Amino acid sequence: MKTGKRALLFFVIVGMELSWLYAWATFLTTSILNRSFPFPEAIATFALAATITLLSQGRGWRIIYIVGIQVFGFILTALRIVYVFNTWSYSFLSKVWLIEFFNTPRGPLEWLHLILVLFLTFMFWVGGVTFTRRPTAYSTVCARFDLGIAAFALLFLMKFLVLYKGGIKIEDPLSQLLFFPFFIFSLLGIGLVRSRTTSPRDFLPGYQAIGVILSFTVVVVLFGTGLVLFFLPYLTSAAETGYTILKTAARPLEPVLVSILRFIFMGRTVRPESSSGQTEGGAGELITLAESSWWMELLEKLLAWVLGGILGLTVLIIFCAALFFLFRWLLSRAPVSQRRQSSWYLISLWLERSRIFLCFFLRRIVRRIKGYKRAAQLYTGLLNWGRHSGLPHFLSETPTEYGLRLQNRFPSLRREIELITEAFTQEVYGEITLHEQQLDLAQSAWRRLRSPLHWPSRLKTWFLKPEDHPL
């Protein structure tokens, strides 16, 4: 899919999700709080959640870092929405309203209102996160369309039941108007996803220009209509605010302006009706227990303590296990996508290999400068020397047998090879600590073995017939 078409599909699916989410949010806040959910803040919450998820997805970060960023963004948007709902006179960046908000005592009803606002904010945040993680496949878009249709159907059914059973009419024109942009965005999104294919497409001969114009016109008209209908509730409230300001400023022309505005907008005044429910409570009957003997009471207390201990221990084990798995999940790393891995992973792999090579090279230089301190190190060097000379060590050979094979191939170095193998045999098999003089003799023998004067004879062994494996 081309970049422009992919971007158009992205905005269309965003419009689908926000339509039914905001319809439910404004219905709940209008019916309970007598005011609609803030429209710009709802879009900002959804967009911020989607952006944070998109930027942190596939980077291989630790889960605790991703969760921390998500929690910080959610707290920021939740504070903004709470600030808008409380209509503070202070600035949002000021600390005064925040201190006053946390210090103000609240009743049960005010706590219920605050929980409702936070829950709706959380729903918009979750919608943005899941939208970014969801693939834009045909089946997925159709499933989201079905979910939106079910959400709107449930919303209209709830309105009907409240009106029919309770006799309460909720003046909420915004939620029902959002069904039209949702339907238009859904049709456009399903059409865009359905048209994705790898097979070449072409118009009939002579109709290419007309087909391109018609396709572009249909997309622009549908997308533009969906945008207008989506922002229509917010534009309507803005028009009502402008109408109030205009009415105050142009009071002398009030009769004429009121007539014109009523004719254009057909505005309705929201008359919230408060409904009060009565809770009836009856006094429960007390259950009296028959008196029992002292051993029955003791047995009951003992059973209560045993059952309580088992229940408490079970709850403690479950809590500890849940805490362990939670911390293990938070400290784990998120998967790295192949697209992000292609560049940074290769660079890090190259740097790691360079570090290993430099460490190996430095160890070799330090070993050459300081020399060997043990006979086992000298024998390891002898094994490498023999392998590079064309005589590798066999697993069935003892150090003495391997030394004899090297002496037969290099007679001029018989003494040096014998000194190294004897020193190794005494140190390892005889468990004898070598004197400094013996170790100096072995090191001198090793330096003579590595002399460039013996390179021609060592090179000659590569062109000779290799020996058979010793029995």
- 3 state SS of 382: helix
Interatomic CA distance for residues 23 and 35, integer angstroms:
13
More confident residue, 46 or 265: 46
Region 401-423: mean pLDDT is 88
Cβ atoms 41, 80 nearer than 8 A: yes
pLDDT at 415 over 60: yes
278-289 pLDDT, tens digit per residue, is 444 444 443 444
Mean pLDDT, the chain, whole residue set: 75
pLDDT at 122 over 90: yes
384-397 pLDDT, tens digit per residue, is 888 888 888 888 88
pLDDT at 148 over 50: yes
- Give which of 423, 410, 422 is closest to 449, Cα–Cα: 410
pLDDT at 329 over 70: yes
59-79 pLDDT, tens digit per residue, is 778 888 888 898 999 999 998
- Give which of 130, 167, 148, 181 is closest to 15, Cα–Cα: 181
> Given pLDDT bands bounded at 50, 70 and 90, which one contains residue 340?
low
Interatomic CA distance for residues 331 and 324, integer angstroms:
11
Specify the pTM. 0.50
Q: Which residues contact 27 (CB under 8 A, 6 or more apart)?
A: 155, 158, 159, 170, 172, 175
C-beta atoms surrounding 256 within 10 Å? 10
Polymer length of the chain: 471
pLDDT at 211: 47
pLDDT at 51 over 70: yes
Please report which helix (H) or strand (E) contains residue 9, including its range.
helix 3-33
More confident residue, 231 or 437: 437
Q: Which residues contact 376 (CB under 8 A, 6 or more apart)?
A: 424, 427, 428
* Token pair for 351: 């740097």
